[in-house]
């Protein structure tokens, strides 16, 4: 485990997603739009895990996660906000409790400690800013979670 | 004189650490701080149940290791492990490559106590966990706590 800062960044734009007490930062350039959760269409088939939202005439699949980023059925999910994300390879919506674009100054990026890595890790760095800590991830890593069963 | 020299070679001090229903031990100089009281622990999703939070300590980012969950992770949901901000945490220092010092947090259920351990107290690991030989260096018998594994800190915080 390295304890020294991996890198310092003067300022960086992020979108912050909140799932209960879990806070995740994604690159701001991957943010398409933030919509109210009630604009997400519920799955028509009870077996469908995802809902849908239409952004710029495009249907986007919407997924829900619990606080540990385990995939949950969108049906009857209580999250209030839908964050629509795109990384050039596709678009998805993610339900969360809160989301907002933020600018953080003087971030220290640190490696995730070695004992915290798992086969399905999606957090590889922790950002420190003004004594606050944030998990850093990317849309592509969250998409990977949708395709990967949760491993206990 | 001769007896005193022999005695000093066969004993050392260790910290006795209460961890849930068991006790473990580490070397006298491996604890650098004990945090008792409020501390902000940040959950890291998809990390192991037994090491699910990080926190800041003196400018360092530390993992919080719950040895009780490591030994017996089965019945626990991550929501039960989140944000116990009032516990006792030992900040542990250990050395990796060429003198580089690293730190980690170990969750305790009571304050640590110093203990003199002698070579003639060596015993087998307790039967409650089959992985002690991979996470401990040795084991001694405490008159009150019973068999106490001496943790190999590097293997706890730098697995693989």
Task: Please answer yes or no on whether B78 and A67 come within 8 Å at the CB atom.
Answer: yes
Between A147 and B21, the higher pLDDT residue: B21
What's the average model confidence in pLDDT over B44-57? 95
Residues of A with a Cβ under 8 Å from any B Cβ are 1-3, 19-24, 66-69, 110, 112-118, 120-123, 126, 128, 131, 133-135, 145, 152
Angstroms from A114 CA to nearest CA on chain B:
6
Q: What pLDDT does A4 receive? A: 43
Pairing of the two strands B11-19 and B22-27: antiparallel
Say if B85 is an interface residue toward chain A (CB within 8 Å): no
Question: Rounded CA gap, B114 and B117, in Å?
Answer: 10
The tens digit of pLDDT for each residue in B58-101 reads 999 999 999 999 998 765 455 545 445 568 999 999 988 888 89
The tens digit of pLDDT for each residue in B119-154 reads 999 999 999 899 999 999 999 999 999 999 999 999
Say if B45 is an interface residue toward chain A (CB within 8 Å): yes
Q: What pLDDT does A8 receive? A: 56
Say if B156 is an interface residue toward chain A (CB within 8 Å): yes
In order along chain A (152 residues), what is the average pLDDT of each group of 10 residues? 49 91 94 94 81 92 94 87 91 96 91 92 92 93 81 57
Q: What pLDDT does A1 receive? A: 41
Q: Is A44 exposed, middle or buried (0-12, 13-18, 19+ CB in 10 A)?
A: exposed
Between B37 and A92, the higher pLDDT residue: A92
A·B CB contacts under 8 A: 97
Percent of chain B with pLDDT over 90: 72
CATH superfamily of A8-107: CheA-289, Domain 4 (2.40.50.180)
Global confidence as pTM: 0.87
Residue corresponding to tokens 């945090």: B35
Angstroms from B149 CA to nearest CA on chain A:
20
Angstroms from B109 CA to nearest CA on chain A:
21
Q: What pLDDT does B92 receive? A: 97
Task: Please answer yes or no on whether A133 and B55 come within 8 Å at the CB atom.
Answer: yes
Say if B80 is an interface residue toward chain A (CB within 8 Å): no
Q: Is A147 exposed, middle or buried (0-12, 13-18, 19+ CB in 10 A)?
A: exposed
Angstroms from A6 CA to nearest CA on chain B:
11
Q: Kindly list the residues from chain B whose CB atom is less than 8 angstroms away from the CB atom of residue A20.
A: 82
Select from A20, A65, A68, A117 the residue whose CB has the most chain B CBs within 10 Å, as the one to mutate to test that interface.
A68
How many CB atoms neighbour CB A7 within 10 A? 11
Q: Kindly list the residues from chain B whose CB atom is less than 8 angstroms away from the CB atom of residue A123.
A: 44-47
Alpha helices in B51-141 (DSSP H): 67-71, 78-81, 132-135
Q: Are the CB atoms for B152 and B135 separated by under 8 Å?
A: yes
Angstroms from B142 CA to nearest CA on chain A:
29
């Amino acid at each position: 485990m390295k304890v020294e800062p991996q890198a310092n960044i003067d300022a960086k734009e992020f979108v912050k997603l909140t799932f209960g007490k879990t806070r995740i930062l994604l690159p701001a350039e991957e943010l398409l739009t933030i919509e109210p959760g009630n604009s997400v269409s519920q799955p028509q088939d009870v077996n469908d895990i995802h809902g849908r939202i239409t952004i710029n005439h495009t249907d986007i699949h919407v997924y829900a996660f619990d606080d540990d980023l385990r995939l949950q059925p969108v049906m009857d999910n209580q999250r209030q906000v839908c964050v629509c994300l795109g990384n050039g390879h596709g678009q998805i919506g993610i339900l969360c409790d809160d989301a907002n674009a933020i600018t953080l100054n003087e971030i220290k990026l640190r490696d995730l400690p070695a004992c915290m890595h798992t086969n399905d890790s999606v957090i590889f760095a922790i950002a420190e800013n003004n004594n606050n800590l944030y998990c850093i991830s990317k849309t592509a890593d969250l998409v990977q979670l949708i395709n990967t069963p949760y491993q206990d | 004189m001769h007896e005193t020299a022999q005695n000093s070679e066969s004993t050392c001090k260790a910290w006795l650490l209460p961890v849930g229903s068991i006790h473990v031990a580490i070397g006298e100089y491996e604890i650098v701080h004990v945090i008792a009281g409020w501390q902000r622990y940040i959950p890291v999703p998809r990390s192991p149940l037994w090491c699910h939070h990080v926190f800041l300590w003196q400018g360092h980012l530390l993992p919080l290791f719950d040895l009780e969950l490591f030994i017996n992770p089965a019945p626990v949901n991550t929501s039960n492990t989140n944000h116990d901000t009032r516990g006792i945490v030992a900040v542990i220092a250990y050395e990796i490559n060429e003198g580089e010092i690293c730190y980690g947090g170990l969750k305790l259920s009571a304050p640590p106590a110093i203990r003199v351990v002698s070579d003639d107290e060596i015993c087998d690991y307790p039967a409650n966990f089959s992985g002690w030989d991979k996470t401990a260096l040795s084991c001694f018998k405490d008159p009150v706590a019973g068999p106490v594994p001496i943790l190999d800190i590097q293997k706890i915080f730098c697995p693989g």
